[in-house]
Amino acid sequence: MTMSPHNPLPRRTLLRGAVAAGAGAAAWSLLDQPSATGAPGVDSGSYTIRFDKGRRQTIWGLGFEIQSDSIGSGNKGMPDVASGVPYDLTESERDRFYQQLLKGGNDRGFRYCRLAMGLYHRGLDSTKKHMVDRYKGQTALLADMIKQSGVEGVAAEYWSPAPGWKTNKSYIGGRLASFSPEALDALGDAMVGDLKYLTDRGVPISMWGLQNEPRYKTKYSSCQYTPDQYLKTFKAVAPKIRKQYPEVIVHADSQDGWGGRIGKALKADPDALRHVDAWTYHRLDKGYHNSNRQITEDFSSGRAGKPVFCNEFEYLHGGTTDWRTINTAQSIMNWMTFHNSPTWFWLHALKPTQNSESDGYSLGFWRPPNARNPDRFKHLKERHWEFNPRNWNAVAGFLRYMPWDSVRYHVDEPKRANGKPYTEHRIMAWRTPHDKPVFVVTNRSEKDAFTCTIDTQTKGEFHGHRYGPSTHDKSVGSKAGPKLTLTLPPLSIEFWTAG
């Protein structure tokens, strides 16, 4: 069933489909949970795609975050200057951004735009309890971006409530000033009002989250909650969001999902749990960069029948590398293969050239007017943007060859001697909404080629498309099914499409 960008499947339909279609895969994933050790790849392997009886979850589509206002380099502080995208870009560069990156060269690419309320949308009214545009036309530009790019809507999520509700009267740090029923009731009305401000100006809402990373105090917008404080606030606010926006996907807790102390508090309270539609995780930094973690750890068994997904992925330290290109692709695949995730979010579409974190955070760079650190990206004109290839090429193939509402199918894989899947070579298969078979294979090895035979259970031709750190949608020929033999060079991703 093909949906138009602004006529999405109803929220409840999406969620039922994701959980029901993924039920069989959930049991398989837990039975085959690998050990917590990595392993070298193999140089050959045989796979069978179970298009006969292996239907799993519906994959809604991917998400990204938009930096529509300024943040300090290294995430230190929130400058007064108004700077962001699409605001900083020229008209022609905006159009190119929408068509080439957000659409991914298709009619539709990304489905969701994560919007950081209180950070990248942080203007205030006179009471400092309601969020509005910080610069003229901010929301109108976001609405136009969504319309032109075909994005379904925003995943609106608070980095901080408006300062008027907090102990320190600031976006940065602090906690809610009061958790009395009266105060939380008023906060809920204000948060509904924040969403209404967006929707009245043409920005549709697809998802909502109470607080980004509620355990952390940062040098930019944040608000800390204990589990009990989060539970009280969620129970007061989420029903108001649900009443006003019944199709919005409400998720928690945008850090530790059902497995953290906040998630456990929500699960223990039936009134709260019925308002949770999905559990969201952030798994990155240090050892978390390695996508093996989605194989070696359990993010599924306690989900209480609700989808789990990663709504933020980036490289906090060290920028991007060739190896990380393949690792990012495998993060998408492993969340979906081992945890039946219906979506996955990269952190930022574009980051400014002047910020030190931009290389590891972005799919592309833009040069702000009067940029600080002018020697960085000297070749890039002011108010223009370019791709960050190592990150972009990791994601682009999924945007191009995995349309919204594709359905994943199980793949029988070769296993290590201990019965666990290999980690350097991953595979995932799906059918598009038009019933077209597609699969993707990766080789994360930095020095060895990988040869594999894949039984597609599908006659006819498959066409290959290769991506890598410096490779974008390179044709690698056609092969006749049902059995295909492929050889992937080191550090490569290949999508094979039928027809």
Taken as a whole, the chain contains a residue count of 499
What's residue 33's pLDDT?
33
350, 84 in Cβ contact below 8 A? no
Tell me the pLDDT of the chain averaged across its residues. 92
- Structural domains in the chain, CATH included, are 11-58+405-498 (2.60.40.1180), 61-282+346-401 (3.20.20.80)
Q: What is d(CA 67, CA 165) in angstroms, rounded to the nearest whole number?
A: 24
What's residue 31's pLDDT?
29
Find tokens 């600080």 and name the residue.
372
Average pLDDT over residues 203-209: 98
- For the cut 50, the answer to whether the pLDDT of residue 38 exceeds it is no
Of 162, 81, 72, 67, nearest to 116 by C-alpha is 67
- In the chain, the percentage of residues whose pLDDT exceeds 90 is 86
Read off the pLDDT band of 21 (50, 70, 90).
low
What's residue 288's pLDDT?
58
Average pLDDT over residues 50-77: 97
What's residue 268's pLDDT?
98
Q: Which residues pair with 63 in a beta bridge?
A: 112, 345
What's residue 78's pLDDT?
98
- For the cut 90, the answer to whether the pLDDT of residue 134 exceeds it is yes
What's residue 66's pLDDT?
98
| pLDDT tens-place string over residues 228-258 | 999 999 999 999 999 999 999 999 999 999 9
What's residue 442's pLDDT?
98
What's residue 39's pLDDT?
43
- For the cut 50, the answer to whether the pLDDT of residue 75 exceeds it is yes
3-state secondary structure of 366: strand
| C-alpha distances in Å from residue 472, one per residue of 104, 390, 396 | 12, 10, 8
Read off the pLDDT band of 266 (50, 70, 90).
very high
pTM of the entire predicted model: 0.94
| C-alpha distances in Å from residue 483, one per residue of 49, 271, 411, 416 | 10, 51, 14, 22
| C-alpha distances in Å from residue 379, one per residue of 304, 366, 374, 390 | 51, 11, 10, 19
What's residue 101's pLDDT?
98
